[in-house]
Amino acid sequence: MGRVIGIDLGTTYCAMAALNDAGVPDIVPNREGERITPSVVLFQGDIAIVGSQAKRSAASAPEDTVQFVKRHMGEKSIVYTTEAGKDLRPEEISALILKRLKEDAELHFGEPVDRAVITVPAYFDDARRTATRDAGTIAGLEVLRVLNEPTAAAIAYGLRHADAGVFLVYDLGGGTFDVTVMRSAGDELEVLATAGDRNLGGYDWDNRLMKHVDAEIVAAGGASVLAGDEARIAELRDKAEIAKRTLSTSEQCSIVLSVDGAHHHVKVTRETFERMTSSLLGRTESLARQVVEEARLSWAQIDRTLLVGGSTRMPMVTRLLESMSGRPAERGVAQDEVVAMGAAILAAAENSAAPDALAQVTGGALTAVRDVTSQSLGVEVLADGERVENSVIVPRNSRLPCGVAKKYATMYHDQRGILLKVTEGEDTDMAYVNVIGQSEIRIPVAGLPEGHPVEVRLSYDIDAIIHVQVTDGQTGQHWGEFEIERVANMDGGQLRAAGDRLRAAEVI
Ligand SMILES: Nc1ncnc2c1ncn2[C@@H]1O[C@H](COP(=O)(O)OP(=O)(O)OP(=O)(O)O)[C@@H](O)[C@H]1O
Ligand SMILES: [Mg+2]
């Protein structure tokens, strides 16, 4: 039996951790000795280079570099075409990163690593979770759980602070934002509510700064970098990110770029930077307020605020949280490592056959972790016989695992089939929700009258993966059951083929 690890598969950086002999999670360094690995892949012919070396080349070889792929997880898109003409999907790029991490861990431990818990933003929907699980499978890992990042952070944090109370996890990473309210009651950790934005992170702060610097260059009579070639844009992105980090500790900094032989020196103060990004921070603020409201709490009832994600190093974030909560915000553990540490704890527990595995792994500090759904689940219905709308069956922030049944009715006499469209989202308007899958259910009984009750049961398993069941609402007869045929994900054959290709691929 090989080892198990916890992996934080981030938009910009990945971290992995495993329990040490003392049962405490430790970061597993990569082969270069780094505690975090940039989520960047550089293709050189048939070889995929992952990590810092790829990140360093991003500016000089942007067309052979793939970054921020997590933003595309769950999309049926092609993010890169290899020299040999092979189209790669987001889960295949993620699999390359995971393969590199797996091999680094094997090098570190000197033994096979074949099972892992991989984390995802709580706000990831079903397609994105499935794509993440698939990426692990392609990379040759058995994915024990797809775990929510804020929950992972809370597990790692909860291990050190066993006191009861309500806390808010504010996770602003490179590409996604998650805000979660949790309650710890002694040895139980319960998610009360979660919200977030899967397209909001440090990357967007970088974009604002890039635009600003570009505008300054143009104002000074220079040529626009953003209108230029990819290599220049990548260089500007690099420099903007470095400047942003500098502004977390310094009041000002400058960015130097040479465009068409002319050197440009753009000075940026923290104040200017905060002003140009205030609307981004504002989005995190309204989501944080929303989640506290959804947990039916007031800010006075939040005992502690926990900062997770590299972007919470920006002073504007700390200020915002302190002004909302009226309390100092805490950085319990290194904020870019805490998610991987929590994943490592759960991986060890999942790997144990003992019924009280989590308690054993955590020395009794935690016996149970309860999570909630981050998306409402429903079906498309015909309301009042005329309007097509979304009918929510499982409301968001329901405790996992969960199943809810709701009764509908047949539309006409002797109806013999139902086209069931399963949706994700809150709105009744179909335009604002996602149809995540559909299936034709046959009604095995003839001659049922119009308005005959039909029960649809939607359930989420512990990984928030969705199952659908349809029964006769009167007799309880089973009419059909399916796991959603996900429009956006790979099928079994595609997955196997991708796995075979990856086994043969060289990843360094
Ligand atoms: N000192 C700093 N000041 C400002 N931003 C920082 C600092 N250090 C790191 N960051 C930013 O943090 C982000 C990376 O954070 P983290 O590693 O938590 O993200 P991630 O896990 O890759 O992303 P996600 O969780 O969104 O998938 C990057 O945008 C990076 O620029
Ligand atoms: Mg993260």
Question: Which pLDDT score, from 0 to 100, does residue 1 have?
Answer: 62
Locate 494 and state its tokens.
């595609």
Q: Kindly list the protein residues that place their beta carbon closer than 5 angstroms to ligand 2, a single-atom ion.
A: 10, 173
Q: Based on the fold, state whether residues 394 and 445 are members of the same structural domain.
A: yes
Whether residue 149 lies in the annotated active site: yes
Query: Ligand 1 centroid vs 3 CA: distance in angstroms?
Result: 28
Q: Based on the fold, state whether residues 58 and 135 are members of the same structural domain.
A: yes
The active-site residue out of 171, 178, 350, 424 is 171
Query: Ligand 2 centroid vs 260 CA: distance in angstroms?
Result: 37
Q: Based on the fold, state whether residues 136 and 29 are members of the same structural domain.
A: yes
Task: Name the percent of the chain lying above pLDDT 90.
Answer: 62
Side-chain half-sphere exposure of 320, counting CA atoms within 13 A: 24
Contact of 345 with 159, CB cutoff 8 Å: yes
Give me the amino acid identity at 247: L
Whether residue 171 lies in the annotated active site: yes
Question: Which pLDDT score, from 0 to 100, does residue 269 have?
Answer: 97
Query: Ligand 2 centroid vs 404 CA: distance in angstroms?
Result: 31
**What is the tens place of the pLDDT at every residue in 405-439?**
999 999 999 999 999 999 999 899 999 998 888 88
Element (H, E) at 182: strand 177-185
Locate 333 and state its tokens.
């553990």
Q: How many Å apart are CA 148 and CA 166, to the nearest integer?
A: 18
Residue 106 resides in a domain: yes
Q: Based on the fold, state whether residues 395 and 357 are members of the same structural domain.
A: no
Q: How many Å apart are CA 241 and CA 13, to the nearest integer?
A: 14
Whether residue 102 lies in the annotated active site: no
Residue 496 resides in a domain: no
Which residue, of 276, 298, 324, is where some domain finishes? 276
Contact of 55 with 242, CB cutoff 8 Å: no
Residue owning tokens 């903007």: 240
Q: Based on the fold, state whether residues 386 and 351 are members of the same structural domain.
A: no
| CATH number of the domain within which 409 lies | 2.60.34.10
- Atom index in ligand 1 nearest the CA of residue 205 equals 29
Locate 258 and state its tokens.
């040479």
Q: Is the peptide bond before 395 cis (omega within 30 degrees of 0)?
A: no
Residue-level length of the chain: 508
Residue 24 resides in a domain: yes
Q: Which of 13, 246, 274 to mutate to test the pocket of ligand 1 (most atoms within 8 A of CB)?
A: 13
- Spatial neighbors of 390 by CB under 8 A, at least 6 apart, are 378, 379, 380, 381, 423, 425, 427, 428, 429, 430, 433
**What is the tens place of the pLDDT at every residue in 77-107?**
898 988 888 899 999 999 999 999 999 999 9
- Atom index in ligand 1 nearest the CA of residue 175 equals 26
Which residue, of 372, 400, 423, is where some domain finishes? 372
Locate 126 and state its tokens.
């079903």
Contact of 460 with 394, CB cutoff 8 Å: yes
Query: Ligand 1 centroid vs 465 CA: distance in angstroms?
Result: 28
Question: Which pLDDT score, from 0 to 100, does residue 160 have?
Answer: 65
Residue 341 resides in a domain: yes
Query: Ligand 1 centroid vs 186 CA: distance in angstroms?
Result: 31
Look at residues 421, 338, 424, 422 and name the one whose alpha carbon lies nearest to residue 374: 424
Q: Which residues line ligand 1 (CB under 6 A)?
A: 8, 10-13, 70, 173-176, 201-203, 241, 244-245, 248, 309-311, 313-314, 336
Q: Based on the fold, state whether residues 368 and 398 are members of the same structural domain.
A: no
Question: Which pLDDT score, from 0 to 100, does residue 177 have?
Answer: 95
Contact of 342 with 169, CB cutoff 8 Å: no
Q: Based on the fold, state whether residues 7 and 156 are members of the same structural domain.
A: yes
Q: Inter-axis angle of helices 126-138 and 492-504, to 10 degrees?
A: 40
Sites in the chain below the pLDDT cut of 50:
none
Ligand nearest to the CA of 245: 1
Question: Which pLDDT score, from 0 to 100, does residue 229 have?
Answer: 86
Domain that holds residue 396: 377-483
| CATH number of the domain within which 68 lies | 3.30.420.40
Q: Based on the fold, state whether residues 155 and 128 are members of the same structural domain.
A: yes
Locate 170 and state its tokens.
């504010």
- Atom index in ligand 1 nearest the CA of residue 201 equals 26
Residue owning tokens 């039916």: 296
Q: How many domains does the chain have?
A: 3
> Roughly how many angstroms between the first and final C-alpha of the chain, as a whole number?
25
Of all protein residues, the one whose alpha carbon is nearest to atom 13 of ligand 1 is 174
Give me the amino acid identity at 141: L
